[in-house]
Amino acid sequence: MNRYETAINRSVGSGIEINSVLRNTYMLLSATLLFSALTAGIAMAINMPPLGPLLTIGGYFLLLFLTSRFQNSALGLVFVFALTGFMGLTLGPILGFYIANLSNGGQLVATALGGTGAIFAGLSAYVLITRKDFSFIGGMLMAGILVAFIAALVTLIWPMPALSLAVSAMFILLMSGMILFQTSAIVHGGETNYISATVTLYVSIYNLFLSLLHIFGIFGGDD
């Protein structure tokens, strides 16, 4: 076999692997989103109170660590559903608050959900069609997310409506960038683990939805 044939075989094999990661990621992402919606619905049905910031943040990072730790084994799938199910439970009380306290709360939730879906689909399609490499924004995203996370913690301690609104706007931009970055990493072979890719995309969608809902609630809320 000459070098030309070897290069072709490697290219074909790489393309098959990338398509497999992409397919498995979207299948697992769809399943986790449905499971998260189920747990959110259960939390709303039983009128579950908010878990509180410490328990929410602690549970999230613990399950995130376990998912990352076991991402190369079947146990990683268990922790993916544990993580997304837990995040669904934390989402339930938030959705319940909007629906119960705002006359157009259901409409706001639906609008935020539709906006999230449109943004995710649009950004994903852009990367898949153009094959543009967005690896160069990785460092900027990490720095931006750190700043936004610290600012979000500040708003929990000292509530400031203007800062809270700015944080939501920041998260919309950052999570949109993360969707571009992660999808690009899969397409170009930089991400080969579909569990890790699923978690990144799920967290991006989750934060994108909450940020849109918060902004819509501020400007479109009718209590």
Number of domains in the chain: 1
Q: For the chain, first and last CA: distance in Å? A: 72
pLDDT of residue 189: 86
CB 198 within 8 A of CB 28: yes
Q: Which of 32-41, 75-84, 102-111, 122-131 has the lowest mean pLDDT?
A: 102-111
The angle, 0 to 180 degrees and rounded to 10, between the axes of the packed helices 105-130 and 75-101 is 140
Please give the pLDDT value at position 155: 86
pLDDT, position 103: 84
- Give the list of residues 6+ apart from residue 108 with CB closer than 8 angstroms, or none: 98, 102, 213, 216, 217, 220, 221
Q: Provide mean pLDDT across the span 192-199.
A: 94
pLDDT for res 13? 45
Q: What is the mean pLDDT of residues 66-93?
A: 95
Structure confidence by residue, pLDDT tens digits, 143-175: 999 999 899 888 888 888 888 899 999 999 999
Any idea which residue has 């995710």 for tokens?
Answer: 120
Is residue 179 scored above 50 in pLDDT? Answer: yes
Question: Which structural domain range is residue 181 located in?
Answer: 3-220
Query: What SS3 class is residue 26?
Result: helix
What confidence score (pLDDT) does residue 137 get? 93
Mean pLDDT of the region 29-52: 95
Tens digits of residue pLDDT in 101-141: 888 889 999 999 999 999 999 999 999 999 999 999 999 99
Mean pLDDT calculated for residue range 15-22: 76
Whether the pLDDT of residue 202 is over 50: the answer is yes
pLDDT (0 to 100) of residue 39: 97
| pLDDT for residue 4 is more than 70 | no
DSSP readout, 6-22?
Answer: HHHHHHHHHHHHHHHHH
Going by pLDDT thresholds of 50, 70 and 90, the confidence category of residue 1 is low
